[in-house]
Chains A and B, each alone.
Chain A
Amino acid sequence: MLVQILIYVLLGAAALFCLFPLLMALMNSFKTNRELLTNVMSFPTSLSIDNYLRTFDKMNYLRSLGNTVFLAAGGVCLIVLFSAMAGWKICRTKTRLSSFLFGLFVFSMLIPFSSIMIPLFRVVLFLHIKNSLVGLVFVYAGLGVSMAIFLYHGFVKSIPYELEESAIIDGCSSIQVFFYIIFPMLKPITAAVCITNALWIWNDFLLPLIVISDNKKYTLLLSTNTLFGQYSNDWTAILSSLILAAIPVIIFYAFLQKQILHGIADGAVKG
């Protein structure tokens, strides 16, 4: 019994450790700078949102948020569409070409991003998509498809072929077969692909840092980073901007945590 209680106490301490930075940032983000410097562990004397108003403008919050949403949503849509089609077709075609393609996609999963970032930067310059959010969506698609194809390929294997066969006999074209029969059946793995890729793109910092220099196109992380550089010692400004930048994912997590945790586990077990 005592051991049981001790285990819960330790788990509670670990949980507190996880939340500690968030709680400290939240608590201090309402203070004035003088209040913060006197005591970082006290509760704020008033819930003043002055810091938030200040950083909300400074970060161009809504625009940064919009840019980030656009990148994540666009990237995920392209990755899902492209990879589901390719993963299905590669799995169903038994030719040397299709196994070569599969190998090609899978092999590159091992290439670290830092190894290709400079030549990739050159491609971006060449295509004139530096500072283009639409262009960046396609870059994300290019970087994300191999993993997703691998997952879809594995999932399609478990779907019986007879369904497609009878649809083809009934006169469906491949496109109809894909959109009406296959794609709906891929739903569980599509959820996993959506979640892992949305989180990756949302939290990706290095690629936008290289490709985006126009502050109208900044993502949330780039805006936060710039603000951190400008206000190096103004902790109330920094902390409120960090909270603002973290809020969207926390809300996302609060509403979809079951799906997110399942998606992560699914992506792992099959990967």
Chain B
Amino acid sequence: MLLFTLPALIVYAVFKLFPAISGIYYSMTNWNGLNKGFDMVGLDNFKEILSDKYYWQSILFTLKYVLVMIIVANLIALLLAVTIESRKRAKGLFRTVFFMPNMISMIIGGYMWMFIFTKVLYYMADNWGMTFFDKSWIGDPKYAFIAIIIVASWGSVGYLMIFYMAALQGVPMNLKEAASLDGANAWQTFRHVVLPLIQNGVTICVFWTLNAGFQVFDVVYALTGGGPGRATQTAAINIYEEAFRGNVRYGYATAKSTVLFVIVMLFTAIQLRLMKRKEQEL
């Protein structure tokens, strides 16, 4: 038993479990990158967090991002999955193309989109009369948020679509046929026959979006870097900057990350509870 589990247990304990536990300890210290030693400061860091405007702003921004992504990305993914699944031709081709952005890192994808937002859209506005593109996509917080959602959806919809397609393939054909024989239209069939049967898939996808959303870093880092100012800073970027840029306040940043962990746990628990109840109802 030990021989087989030990290698996994060691790397896991050293690089995941220990950091997770020692994080609680470090969040109560004034450890930083400048001084050699550090002292216990009790709950001072957490007190400071309570009045840290930028931190809560980043948490709020992250929550907004998570919420919008759960709705937007999942709706588009489900729509694409249903549409492709019912095609006779070119099913594989569309699946391949829609999944493609997921292969590419959001750092690379984000920079490519940066080119679109800062060069291509202006060209279209100036030369093709598409004046609604003439916005400060990266520089204005309102549009920067939309830009981030567009790019993040571009990069994750294909992944969710694969989950939904797998779930849809589990829906027996004869049930759908029976429903349409009984006079249900396409929407009614979907709403009352298909959707209840893929509820499990929906739970997985929402869970995934929620978890990935709370950790969002790459796409925002590449597109806006958290700016303008700190308007699009996510929790992960806020923590990263606190620890590895400027102040190098590791202890304080660890306290922030502990708070983030508690928040993520809370929302995950709520989400799973809600969706489990929904599954049982259906």
- A residues neighboring B (CB under 8 Å): 7-8, 11, 14-15, 17-22, 24-25, 28, 36, 39-41, 78, 81-83, 85-86, 88-90, 93, 95, 97-98, 101, 104-105, 108, 110-123, 127, 138-139, 141-143, 145-146, 149, 174, 178, 199, 202-203, 205-206, 210, 221, 224-225, 228, 235, 238-239, 242, 245-246, 249-250, 252-253, 257, 260-261, 264-265, 268-269, 271
Contact = CB atoms under 8 A, between A and B. Distances in A.
A141 B16 CA distance: 10
Contact of B23 (A78, A105, A116, A149): A116
26 contacts: A17-B154, A18-B154, A22-B100, A28-B115, A88-B4, A101-B5, A111-B261, A114-B215, A116-B19, A116-B23, A117-B19, A117-B240, A118-B250, A119-B20, A120-B16, A123-B14, A141-B15, A142-B13, A145-B12, A146-B12, A205-B218, A206-B218, A221-B105, A221-B107, A249-B104, A252-B103
Contacts of A39: 123
Given A111-B261, A123-B15, A143-B16, A11 B23 contact: no
Nearest to A244: B108
B120 A24 contact: yes
Contact of A18 (B98, B163, B253): B98
Contacts of B55: none
B107 to A, nearest CB: 5
Interface string B176-212: 0000000000000000000000000000100000010
Give the secondary structure class of A's interface.
Answer: helix
A78 B11 CA distance: 10
Nearest to A11: B94
Contact of A86 (B5, B17, B119, B268): B5
A101 B163 contact: no
A89 B257 contact: no
Interface of B: 1, 3-5, 7-9, 11-20, 22-23, 26, 80, 83-84, 87, 90, 94-109, 111-113, 115-116, 119-120, 123-124, 127, 154, 158-159, 162-163, 165-166, 204, 211, 214-215, 217-218, 221, 235-236, 239-240, 243-244, 250, 253-254, 257-258, 260-261, 264-265, 268
B115 A90 contact: no
A108 to B, nearest CB: 6
Contact of A14 (B16, B98, B260): B98
Contact of B15 (A142, A246, A249): A142
Contact of B111 (A28, A228, A265): A228
A145 B11 contact: yes
A110 B112 contact: no
